[in-house]
Chain A
Amino acid sequence: MIISFVLDGEEQTLDVDGGLRAVDVLREYCGVTAPKEGCGTGECGACAVLVDGETRLSCLMLAAQMNGCIVTTAQGLGTDGPHPVQEALADLGGVQCGYCTPGIAVTAAEFLERNPDPTRKEIRDALSGNLCRCTGYHKIVDAVEDAAKRLQKEHGRGE
């Protein structure tokens, strides 16, 4: 089937089997390798992407479901450079092997949009569907906390 969607700001029109998984289409047909496949069953969050602004698991989504949607991966998250969440993850040691990072980045970015001044518990809850085997989570939570401050400062300047 023909599917059209906006991927990281660019129009895509593909002729694919609609029953393929979104994660496979993004990686293998579109060459966007930010979404990773970890578990393939919705438990690790490595494949998380934004679909029309909401975090979704691209391993539990069909290619056909992307039709007409705006899909944003960690690759398209920042506009003029890395998103503050991505900068904070890098600066505060929230990235080690990096496999979970794209999923964490999109999940955290969407969360901070809804909750710009979160508590550490709220950050932990928001990221509870994103597994990381390297960092032990403290540095990731530190980074998201820091990113919230960066975003608040950015918005403060903009007003």
Chain B
Amino acid sequence: MNILFPTSVEAALDALQVNPTARVMAGGTDLLVKRRAGSETPEIVVCMEKVADISCIEVQEDRIRIGAATTMSGLLDNTDIRERLPLLHRAAEVFASPLVRNMATIGGNICTASPAADTLPPLHVLGAEVEIYSSSGKRCIPISDFVVAPGRTSLASGELLGAVIVPVPQGRTIGYFEKVGKRKALAIAVVSLAALLRVESNVITEARLAWGSVGPTVVRCSDVESQLIGSAPTLDTFRSVGESVRRAIHPISDVRASAEYRMEVAVNLLLRLAEQAADPTGIKVGF
């Protein structure tokens, strides 16, 4: 196996141009596991760890640009992420283990495109966009258009994920993220739910909900979201949309859980969200 270490985005794009079959490796925590299992046998690997341009976190007015090669530990240690994007911070906290977090990157988590990816539900409700580089320039698309199927993204040959751009929620919003796994560390989500609510005068005025691990990619449900708007953030309100959630999600049975169990948990997580939303202390974002 030939390993290339470009030190700039341009050099990385050149390497991909010259070697169309090369695999991009960020932290390697998925790729090298797949190589060991024999499901990935790359001959050329373009390793991104020395590309400094895409491993920094920058605050830009009302959004934060996170370089694709930022590690999960890098996200956790960053004050701006902790204070302004606590939803994403929470996802990094429950991601794998400290050892894996030191290596795995946000770009890798997005590009691996697992239905259970921890960062994807928060990125969906936050309205994140991804910045894609190619030799002909840069394009920006919503994260919901980027991940198209399990393990598949809309990256074309020769393209590279450079950064994820996350708008910082303005005003008082209620954020929630919960991952249900078989254990606390090193677990793949059985079901996860990220939510971002805006509540004004005890009425929900904006609701974004995204489930992980209950469909081929993250599941947003506009039906559920519009039903919530205009109601008070009470347990009854969240209970009343349970049927719509059941219609929207399509979990499978696998080694971690049965489809029926996932369905129950996906609906029940809304009840925890209700507890969060009913918190009268006026917290900006909490879990």
Contact = CB atoms under 8 A, between A and B. Distances in A.
A24 to B, nearest CB: 11
Nearest to B101: A129
B170 interface: no
B28 A60 contact: yes
Interface stretch (B1-9, B219-227, B268-276): B1-9
Given A107-B98, A128-B97, A64 B5 contact: yes
A41 B98 CA distance: 14
A61 B98 contact: no
Contact of A17 (B1, B27, B45): B1
B186 A128 contact: yes
A1 B36 CA distance: 21
Nearest to B97: A129
Interface residues of A, number: 28
Given A19-B45, A62-B3, A128-B97, A40 B28 contact: no
Contacts of B52: none
A70 interface: no
Contact of B103 (A57, A111, A126): A57
A64 B27 CA distance: 13
Contacts of A19: 1-3, 45
Interface in A58-76: 59-62, 64-65
B33 interface: yes
Contacts of B185: 125, 128-129
Interface string A30-43: 00000000001111
Closest 4 CB pairs of A and B: A129-B97, A19-B1, A128-B185, A129-B99
Interface of A: 1, 17-19, 21, 40-43, 45, 48, 54-57, 59-62, 64-65, 107, 111, 125-126, 128-130
13 contacts: A1-B3, A18-B2, A19-B3, A19-B45, A42-B33, A55-B102, A60-B28, A60-B29, A62-B45, A64-B3, A126-B98, A128-B184, A129-B97
